[in-house]
Amino acid sequence: MTFEITLSDEVLALSARRSYIELNARARALQLLDDGTFHELLGPFDRVESPWLPMQGIVTQSDDGCVVAKGKIDGQPAVVIAMEGKFQGGSIGEVCGMKMAEAFRLARLDNEKGIPTRAVLSLESGGVRLQEANMGELVIAEIYAEMVALRKHTPLIVVITGPTGCFGGMSLAAGLASYVVMTRQARLSMNGPEVIELEAGKDEFVAADKPFVWSVNGGAQRFATDFADVLLEDDADAVTQAVTELFRKGQPAQLRTDKYELFIKRLKFLDPAKQWVAEDIRNAWKAVAK
Amino acid sequence: MEILNFEFPSSKVKARRAHVGVVGSGDLEILMEPSVDGETRVTIQTSVAGFVDTWKAVVERFLQQHPEAANIEIHDFGATPGTVALRLQQAVEVSKS
């Protein structure tokens, strides 16, 4: 007896695609950089690990969950910083946060020396690492300062694909980027769903309701409401291509952080007494477009 | 968390460097480097205490098949013995590629 299986074009297209979401942080940096140009800074064998986690009985990772790699993108010098979401939820501790801030600083110094260096930040992060809270918060401030300084010289691109998503302090870092690239699977939000439910109750937010959560902070909604610039399928080559095209395009006409007056107007348009759903927010954003 | 240290005599052939895995739930990270003095040293940080005999058995089985002199550092986040064995095997494959 023989079986014949006919696959739809959709399924065939899906199976031909390489997932970006399934790549670990190092593989993501390799994916974004031109072939053969990947050079890792403070890699696993340098063993710059968190000194704080073992004191609290927590296993460390040799790169503290942050991969910093120099190389080239589209033939131009570039640095890629990729967070590993599987290690401690991609949380920002002293070491990995400082790696990130220093990478931005070195890229800025190169730019100031006349070496145009691009920067991509691939984020999977729950925000600051609670076990290193104060150091984490301080280093996040350094990250912001360096991002603001660097984006004067080069577009700074944030890529958020999931599965962890981007929350807390790193969601604000995404806000500072010149461009944000997202997939539908990615989530971007200041407070995570569980945190909102815990603080404001189930009337406000049901963290277990996945369609609801994604409708509020998923990639499609974030793209529709101007928090992301590119919405992609989960395709590794498409991510590389999107990043390359954004660098070719150069600086955006207006940075997201310079659009604060528009965002304030939109927030004023929302009546906080009413329970808003994703569609209402999209409509409000359209109603207040200038 | 528990920290375990094992030492074994090994062959004169030196292992090559490899890094595999991630310190995520049910997984582990392995750093393998050549050892210069003919001893193989295995250092394990594990989030699950009380499995010293299991670790010893998994590591001994691996070293019977791969007696190259190595310093092996393991950061474990609750991987099963099967996952540990596969990651060790992967480290050998990566070191040869």
For residues A131 and A107, give the distance between their C-alpha atoms in angstroms, rounded to a whole number.
Answer: 29
Rounded CA Rg of chain B: 12
Cis peptide before A252 (omega within 30 of 0): no
The type of residue at A234 is D
- A83-113 pLDDT, tens per residue? 999 999 999 999 999 999 999 999 999 999 9
Put simply, whether A24 touches B (Cβ < 8 Å) is yes
Interface contact flag, A58 B47, Cβ < 8 Å: yes
Which pLDDT belongs to residue A5?
A: 80
Compute the distance between CA of residue B72 and CA of residue B49 in angstroms, rounded to an integer: 19
Closest chain A CA to residue B23? A87
* One-character DSSP codes across B68-81: -BEEEEEEEES--H
Contact A125, A170 (CB under 8 A): yes
Question: Is residue A173 within 8 Å of residue A139, measured between CB atoms?
Answer: no
The mean pLDDT of chain A is 95
pLDDT at A2: 76
Listed residue (A257, A250, A254) closest to A153, CA to CA: A250
- For residue A233, what pLDDT is reported? 94
Domains of chain B from N-terminus onward: 2-96 (3.30.230)
Q: What is the C-alpha separation between A162 and A27, in angstroms, rounded?
A: 15
Ranges of CATH 3.90.226.10 domains, chain A = 15-252
* A84 contacts chain B (CB < 8 A): yes
The mean pLDDT value of chain B amounts to 94
Strands, E assignment, chain A: 39-41, 66-73, 76-83, 118-123, 156-160, 166-167, 179-183, 188-189, 230-232
Whether A87 and B1 lie within 8 Å, measured CB to CB: no
> Closest-CA residue in chain A for B44?
A59
Distances (CA, A) of B19 to A44, A180, B33: 7, 31, 9
Comparing B41 with A9, the larger pLDDT belongs to B41
Residues present in chain A in total: 290
Q: Does B76 touch chain A (CB under 8 A)?
A: yes
Within 10 A of A49 (CB to CB), how many other CB atoms are there?
21
A7-64 pLDDT, tens digit per residue, is 888 888 777 889 999 999 999 999 999 999 999 999 999 999 999 999 999 999 999 9
User: How high is the pLDDT of residue A4?
Assistant: 81
Give tens-digit pLDDT for A121-146. Answer: 999 999 999 999 899 999 999 999 99
pLDDT in tens, A175-212: 999 999 999 999 999 999 999 999 989 988 899 999 99
* CA-closest candidate to residue A151, choices A49, A223, A286, A257: A257
Query: Quick one: pLDDT band at residue A279, thresholds 50, 70, 90?
Result: very high
Q: Which of A28, A59, A60 would you mutate first to test chain B, the one with the most B CBs within 10 A?
A: A59
CATH code at A15-252: 3.90.226.10
Residue B36: per-residue pLDDT: 86
Chain centroid to CA B35: how far? 13
CB–CB contact B75 A84 (8 Å): no
Closest to A284 in 3D by CA, of A260, A267, A259, A272: A267
Question: Which percentage of chain B shows pLDDT scores above 90?
Answer: 86
B1 shares contact with chain A (CB less than 8 Å):
yes
Largest CA distance in chain B: 36
Residue A38's region, left for phi above 0, alpha for psi from -120 to 50, else beta, is beta
d(CA B96, CA A105): 36
Neighbouring CB atoms inside 10 A of A237's CB total 11
What is the β-pairing status of strands B70-77 and B27-34? Answer: antiparallel
Give me the residues paired with residue A123 across strands: A160
Instruction: Give the minimum alpha-carbon distance from B40 to chain A in angstroms, rounded to a whole number.
Output: 17
Q: Helix and strand tally (H, E) in chain B?
A: 2, 5
